[in-house]
Structure 1
Amino acid sequence: MRQAMVKAGVLEVAVELHGPADGPPVILLHGFPDDARAWDGVAPALAAAGRFVVVPYLRGYGPTRFLDAATPRSGQQAALGADLLALMDAMRIGRALLAGYDWGGRAACVVSALWPERVAGLVSANGYNIQDIAGSIRPAPAEQEQRYWYQWYLHTDRGAAGLAADRDGFCRLLWRSWSPGWRFTDAEYARTAESFRNPDFVDVSVHSYRHRHRAAPGDPALEGIEARLAARPKITISCVVLHGAEDGVDPPSNSIGSEARFSGLFRREVIPGAGHFLPREAPQPWVVSLLGLGIS
């Protein structure tokens, strides 16, 4: 594994690189609250199969930094998609397989929907991850609203202060409740918790959960992308949707009907015994799906 810092768009992105630089590229994108360690069971296997694997730290995580102090610390979906596209441009990756879950799955879905010519195939946890911000006023069933307690908490100044004061307690609770069958060790959590010390982690996280529910304005520079996403564009490239059967925040029932948002080849698989942190808990379905999609 090699490490690099890549200036891409508004960021200097920390990336971990595996496999031959001339191999077919695969980009693996982590979620909230997580980091590049999510893919430790996936990246080496893909590299051994000859793939060039890129694992970035998203904005607000790990060593990744904003280039300009004046850039809004946005966590909106358009920002995540723009970051991914900028990284591909900066690394001169014309076309790649994309895989992601949670925030990373959203970035992958945004690029797949808006720039399909750049995507050879997609593996997305939990389905179509592009947010319906205009429709966010509609309440979900009570059980789902309860699962989203952390989002409503971060809408308040108290919640933002709580995350800032106790990042470990907050994020560790999400790990336990979102993947109830996963027995991660203290050392495993501590390795990733270092990424939550990023100076922008709290601001980016809070903005992400406020913006998606129309409680915070977006970055004006990203209005064009958000306008395109508001149309809820279909994803036309080949896709595999993976969903943990024991996901404690986004249960498998939420991705039933995902195929309606995809017009290319589509497969959905529910992974028994796994929760929300799916690449960590069940890396093999990701490896199989990505190698099965291939690249041309």
Structure 2
Amino acid sequence: MNHSQTIDLKQGPLLLRALVSGPADGPVALLVHGFPDTPHSWDAVGDGLVRAGYRVVRPWLRGYTPESVHLGAQYDAFTAGLDLLAWRDQFAGQPVHLVGHDWGAVAGMAAVATNASAWKTLSLLAIPPFQKVERAWRLLPRQMRMSAYMLEMQSTKAPAKVMIDDCARLRELWTQWSPGWAFTDTDFDPVLHAFSDVRVAWAATRYYRALFTVHRASTRSMYALSRQKLNVPVLAMAGVRDGCMQAGLLQAMVEPSCFPKGIRVELIDNCGHFLQAEQPDAVLKELLHHLA
């Protein structure tokens, strides 16, 4: 995006960073990326929101910059959700809309479940809400095959593996998850830059290992929050061709009673996992309707 400035947020020993653009007095759209990604996948959508008068804030998830890596820090969706609440506090007095993709969506749901009053709306990209995950049992065999990469991330060798050959494994995941998207080296360069740092590779893969550390309070909190109602207006989007999370999970798992202020589900044709980068115009159209 053009004319973005970088702002910092101190969280314990970590220094978190975000790109900010748009009018200082505009309503805030907090756009959160996932794995393996960076805030730059939001460039086109962010530009459109700025033109519509929004102040666009695009944070890096903790662990995706060297300054946000510390051996004693936690890297999981619950803790990332607390970071989003800390970012929200930087814009006191302004309405803040939360938009998350992939891990950013999971962290976004945790942030809303923790404090719904902090947010104007929530938008989820590529990740379904989990309150009724048991309803997706017919889809689970296929989803388990699609999610096999998560087992790779459990290995202590995972950080080194994702760095090999200029992050060839991450390029492969992009291709598998977004079939038909002819992404360019320019599209992938921010990911290559981030994951070429061993500290980032270590921290970013820990999100997956944290899924199974039920002895940790943050892991238990994440699972508990995933069952809570989300008391803000919610938009859930998925790409029909998503090779990471089946689009059908949305229809199977969404229970309207879990969304007291309503939920709208939209499927984007000819689109895979990275909706905001593949089909920014379609995503922007849905967001502008939802955020209005």
TM-score range, shorter chain: 0.7 to 0.9
1:55 matched to 2:58? The reply is yes
Q: TM-score, normalization: structure 2?
A: 0.87
Instruction: Name the counterpart of 2:6.
Output: 4
Unaligned runs of 5+ in 2: none
Query: 1:162 Cα shift?
Result: 1.7
Partners of 2:203 and 2:94 in 1: CA distance? 28
**Is residue 159–residue 198 contact of structure 2 (8 Å, CA) maintained in 1?**
no
Instruction: Name the counterpart of 2:263.
Output: 266
Listed one character per residue, the Cα deviations across residues 15-52 of structure 1 (whole Å, up to 9, x for unaligned) are: 11111011011100111000011111101111111111
Partners of 1:216 and 1:166 in 2: CA distance? 34
Listed one character per residue, the Cα deviations across residues 116-174 of structure 1 (whole Å, up to 9, x for unaligned) are: 101111110135445999x9xx9973322221121111222343442244561111011
Correspondence list, 1:108-187, <5 A: 108-129=108-129, 141-166=140-165, 168-187=167-186
2:230 to 227, 235, 251: 235
Correspondence list, 1:14-33, <5 A: 14-33=17-36
Report how many aligned residue pairs link the two structures. Answer: 285
**Is residue 62–residue 196 contact of structure 1 (8 Å, CA) maintained in 2?**
no
Listed one character per residue, the Cα deviations across residues 208-229 of structure 1 (whole Å, up to 9, x for unaligned) are: 11221x25753x5x47844752
Q: TM-score, normalization: structure 1?
A: 0.85
Partners of 1:207 and 1:19 in 2: CA distance? 33
**Is residue 15–residue 54 contact of structure 1 (8 Å, CA) maintained in 2?**
yes
SS state at 2:82 partner: helix
Query: Amino acid of the residue matched to residue 229 of structure 1?
Result: L
Partners of 1:32 and 1:131 in 2: CA distance? 22
The alpha-carbon distance between structure 1 residues 18 and 284, as it changes in their structure 2 partners (threshold 3 A), is: same
Correspondence list, 1:178-217, <5 A: 178-212=177-211, 214-215=212-213, 217=215
Q: CA RMSD in A?
A: 2.7
Partners of 2:59 and 2:215 in 1: CA distance? 26
Report the structure, 1 or 2, having the larger helix content. Answer: 2
1:104 matched to 2:100? The reply is no
Partners of 2:166 and 2:115 in 1: CA distance? 35
Which stretch shifts more, 98-107 or 148-157?
148-157
Partners of 1:112 and 1:285 in 2: CA distance? 25
